[in-house]
Amino acid sequence: MSRSVELGRAVLAVPTINHELWLTTLITILPEQNATYLAQLTPVKCLEFLSSGVPWVHRGNDMHMDLRINLYNEALPCAQLQDLTNAVLRAPIWNQLMLRPSFPARDIADPGTVRLDIGHAVTDGRETEQKRHRLFSNVPASDVRPPDRVVSVALQSIHLSMDILETIPLRRPIPRRSNSYPSRQEAAKPEVGDTATTLFDPESTEDSPHCDALKPTVLALNRKRKRPVIHTPPNHLPLSDRALSQTDLRTMVESALRLTIRGTVNKPHNSCKIKASTFRSGLADIAPALWRGGFLDALYQRAQLMPTITQSLFQTVFVKSMSISLKCKMESISDVMRMNQQAKDREQEYEIQPCVTRTKSSIAAQLWNHSQKILLQDPVPPTQACVASDLEQLDSDSDDMLAEEHDEWFENMPKFNDGDNVLSNSSGTIDDGCTLPPTMSTTNSDKHSVQTYQQSSGKPILGTDPLEFDEELLFDSSLQRVVSTSDTP
């Protein structure tokens, strides 16, 4: 029975545009018969078990990814959603993960939601045969399956819910200046301390005390302070001021996908920051065979040698003379060693055979789990872009244009016949709009003359390319004399 588990929630912010993305990621898993106890675990314990390296998390039969994007509490417009979907399909990360996204056969009726079916990419057989070791089988890495006793879980779907909202920037309170001035009587009424200072100040005696009372300094001293008035910005800004560009939208979706895959946003040049996050692990930790680059190939190479190692370890189980250290190691690998020892002592074939099978399967399962745990300890390789940028689209379009021009140039290129070193076009006519130079028929005497010149001068004569041959005729006077002499009867 399938089960949905919340992978994490996060709030991503772009300070330059005052927008936030609220992300919620859910995954749907389908435990197989040997992992039915996963339904009894809590979501946190279930995620810890999936990322421990013990279970084998593989691709489900209908694995897909749902992207639900809301902009300002409304569904994303169809034009922006289509452009964003095309950018996700062209992302370089799919080539890195050896996955192939595609549109489903049925469209999703929910507005603002895109569903992508995710399958394994088909590799070229010629390239894999050259790199594969001679002892390895021809089974693709995507078709490798673990031993029988390994816990298997199928990843059915990944659901990303993204709500993009606008944030109002915090502003400092601006105090409002008061225009009310004190009365003339209050301003002219000095204090006791001020009068004593004024009587003994020679500079102040020069001016009239009535003039000093009207000075702005005195007004500033007697002015009363008032509480500042804070101007609150309007709650709703016009649509033109809060419009989100397509580039900023791609940046936020790129960060959301990267956070879902890796569990963190570690791209240096990414301007999106994490304000809050509950992600403890990403898809690269839960399903490394699908979402961690190079993991499946490394595990595939180890899986080819596991039967040989299992057989070697199995033979040491029934060795009578075994050291204590080796016995402890074998007990850690095989959990049915005591049963095998009892069956061996009884020497009953009908009991030994089932124990032998259980021992081999147990050793193979332990080796598989050990390989997964060792590979999970390696750092996650750098993840490529999850959303293609405009520059990548322009580069791909320019490459397509260059390829088309290259094909047209080859189609319009004149055809030469090199059979028996005789050029077919000897009249210098126009072929497909290009004027061809008159060709020369080489006889036996011509070949002998050219060979004699080649031996004397030490310069190679290229007879296969007519253009190079004509250049030699134009710029080499000695060769012209040899050819003219050979042509005379």
| pLDDT tens per residue across span 23-72 | 999 999 999 877 778 888 999 999 999 999 999 999 998 899 999 999 99
C-alpha 382/C-alpha 270 separation (Å) is 14
Instruction: Return the half-sphere exposure (C-beta side, CA atoms, 13 A cut-off) of residue 67.
Output: 24
C-alpha 437/C-alpha 169 separation (Å) is 75
pLDDT for residue 177 = 65
For residue 124, the tally of other CB atoms under 10 A from its CB is 8
pLDDT for residue 93 = 95
pLDDT for residue 284 = 95
C-alpha 333/C-alpha 328 separation (Å) is 9
Mean pLDDT of each 10-residue bin along the chain, 489 residues long = 93 88 96 82 94 92 93 92 94 94 79 91 56 55 83 95 86 64 51 47 50 47 51 45 80 94 76 90 94 92 87 76 76 56 46 61 87 91 87 49 50 47 41 44 47 48 48 50 48
Please give the single-letter amino acid code of residue 186: E
pLDDT for residue 104 = 85
pLDDT for residue 50 = 94
* Structure tokens given for 454: 């080649």
pLDDT for residue 123 = 64
pLDDT for residue 143 = 77
pLDDT for residue 334 = 58
pLDDT for residue 109 = 65
> If we measure between CA atoms, which residue out of 370, 374, 15, 390 comes closest to residue 170?
15
For residue 442, the tally of other CB atoms under 10 A from its CB is 18
pLDDT for residue 226 = 53
- Number of alpha helices (DSSP H) and beta strands (DSSP E) in the chain: 20, 10
* Structure tokens given for 98: 């050896």
pLDDT for residue 7 = 96
pLDDT for residue 55 = 93
pLDDT for residue 75 = 92
3-state secondary structure of 107: coil
